[in-house]
């Protein structure tokens, strides 16, 4: 497996850094964003390190897409958002802040206009409670 010792997402994937995990398998990890743009904001990453969509391999991008859809369905069932933003950023100019390929799922309720990224760390207890609701719907 390709990894980078200074990449926080590689450390999360390997279990060396904490995360509120929703689901993991041999090739992907889905976990809650610690600075959520909205309640239920989560990320899906490949376990293998790829800087951006420009260098992610076919199997990793396919595995991530499969899990993104599965997580979107679980979030929809658990939180009943009226919409959901599925986004992916490549390069600093585009808003990428962690240089490990990943996809954001941001549930959106009517009237909300969440930013692309959260601005501050969320309450860990609240994030865990929402994660439990999502896990129960997988």
Closest C-alpha to 22, from 82, 67, 59: 67
Query: Of 76, 102, 104, 117, which one is the catalytic site residue?
Result: 102
What 3-state DSSP class applies to 107? strand
pTM for this one? 0.94
> Per-residue pLDDT tens for 73-123?
999 999 999 999 999 999 999 999 999 999 999 999 999 888 778 878 999
| C-alpha span between 42 and 105 (Å, rounded) | 5
Q: Is 102 a catalytic residue?
A: yes
| Fold of the domain built from segment(s) 8-135 | HIT family, subunit A (3.30.428)
Pair 38, 107: CB distance under 8 Å: yes
Q: What residue spans define the domains of the chain?
A: 8-135
Sheet holding 28-32, edge to edge: 21-24, 28-32, 42-46, 103-108, 83-87
């Amino acid at each position: 497996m390709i990894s980078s010792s200074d990449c926080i997402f590689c450390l999360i994937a390997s279990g060396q850094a904490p995360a509120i995990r929703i689901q993991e398998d041999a090739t992907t990890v889905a976990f809650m964003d610690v600075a959520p743009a909205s309640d239920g904001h989560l990320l899906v990453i490949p376990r293998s390190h790829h800087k951006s969509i420009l260098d992610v391999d076919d199997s990793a991008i396919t595995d991530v897409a499969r899990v993104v859809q599965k997580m979107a369905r679980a979030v929809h069932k658990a939180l009943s958002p009226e919409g959901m933003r599925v986004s992916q950023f490549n390069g600093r100019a585009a808003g990428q802040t962690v240089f490990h390929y990943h996809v954001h799922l941001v549930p959106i309720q009517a009237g909300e206009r969440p930013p692309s990224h959260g601005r501050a760390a969320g309450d860990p207890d609240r994030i865990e409670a929402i994660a439990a609701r999502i896990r129960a719907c997988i």
